[in-house]
Structure formats: C-alpha cells, structure tokens
Amino acid sequence: MALAEAGARGRLLRWPRVLLFGDSITEYSFQENGWGAYLAERLVRKCDVVNRGISGYNTRWAKLILPRLITESTGADSIAAVTIFFGANDSALKELNPKQHVPLEEYAANLKGMVQYLKSVDITADKIILITPPPLQESAWEKACLAKGDKLNRCNATTGQYAQACVRVAKECGTDVLDLWSLMQKNQDFSSYLSDGLHLSAKGNSFVAAQLWSRLENKLSALPSLLPYWRDVDHTNPEASLL
C-alpha cells in the first residue's frame, strides 16, 4: 500500500499534550533526572509532555505568551493537563532586582488571568495545576549571587507570601495546586532539595516528580496507550491493526 493511500485510510494520530509552563525550574526539568523528563517517561505513548519553561521569566511576561502557546485553533482540545509554575522570579526583591520583580497583588492577578484564559479556550479547571515557588535557601543563593557580583536579591519569607497567593488563586479558580514551598519545608533541612538555593537539586527534582505525578496520575490514568502492543499487531494484515 502506498504511503499516501495509507494516510488517506487511517485517522490522524494526535497525541494528547501535557504542557509545562514556567520559568527556569520548568526549563531545566528535561535535564537528566529532571521532573519533566520523569513525567515524559511515565506518559510515553499516552501523552507528549511539552516543555515551555522560559528561564528568568515572571507572570507579567508569561501572561502575554500563554495565548501564543494555546488557542482553540491550535489544539486546545488535545491538552490533557497544564502546569503553571511561576513565582521564583516574581518574588525577587524590588529594590535589588526590579526587572524580574512583580508586586504580590499583580502576581496573583496574573495567575488568575492565565487560568481564566485557559478556561476561555475550553481547558477545564480540573486540567490545570498551579505550582508555587519552592522555598529559598538564602545562604546558598547569596553565594550564587555574590559569584555574579550581585547582592542577595530574594528572601524565603517573601517567597512564602507569593506561594500563599498562588494557593489562594488555585482555591478561588477551582484548580489543583502543588504547594512546594510548604511541602519542602516539612523536611527540616530543605536545602537538600535545592542545587544553589533557588533551583532544584536531583533530590528536589525527584520530590517534584513524585508530588506532581500523584496529582496527574488520576487525571491521566484513563488515557489509552496509542497504537497496539507489537505482539498484538496482525503481521499478516498490519493494516487491520494500524489503520
């Protein structure tokens, strides 16, 4: 059978998508043993896990980008889940990092606006997971800042205020939320979850992967594996199995 004929006979194969939208903690999640890579491995042949992490970005910039990533005409119906993971940059101290800083109330409004936009393109609240920034280990992050010639430009207490705002938005919007800031600090020495005081270590990636999977598994467990197991393909008439 010619390829064109096979294509005409068969239905277009469209993998559902899990969209990871966030800052550097999302961008780096596809590195070795990263939390995004873990999700991609767990969902292979069920979903495409799409990394749209953009290092250094905050919610002020993210809300402008989101409508360029997902529209009704570009397959919002194929979205199985979306994570929105911002706050580590928004919570930077205004006087020391004005470019990335976003005021707390604006941060909350931006998150709410992104959730409302997703709902407007028919992505329901049960498919959306907000993720708070992780806690900040100040002494380690100060070393990273000093190495770049900067002063300590974040503090954990402020990051916590943004995390609490994220939790509130999720409750108001009816979405799920992963409160990393609180969960990680249940471990007294939460610094082991962080590589430089801000970004995730291998242990932190494992923690995020496990926590996020516990929320995604129920949402995605009903998705079928795409295409039959190879032993189930009729080798004498593969068209019957594959088209």
State the amino acid at position 127 in one-letter form: K
Of the residues 24, 192, 201, 206, which is catalytic? 24
Of the residues 182, 196, 201, 206, which is catalytic? 196
Residue 137, by phi and psi: left (phi above 0), alpha (psi -120 to 50) or beta? beta
Q: Report which of 86, 114, 106, 104 is spatially closest to residue 23, judged by C-alpha positions.
A: 86
Whole-number Å distance between alpha carbons of 60 and 102:
7
**For 210, what's the count of Cα atoms within 13 Å in the CB-facing half-sphere?**
8
Q: Is 101 a catalytic residue?
A: no
**What distance separates the 2 farthest-apart alpha carbons in the chain?**
71
- H or E stretch including 45? none
Q: Is 234 a catalytic residue?
A: no
Q: Is 24 a catalytic residue?
A: yes
DSSP classification of residue 198: S
Q: Report which of 107, 106, 64, 70 is spatially closest to residue 85, judged by C-alpha positions.
A: 107
Burial class (CB in 10 A: 0-12, 13-18, 19+), 2: exposed
Catalytic residues: 24, 196, 199
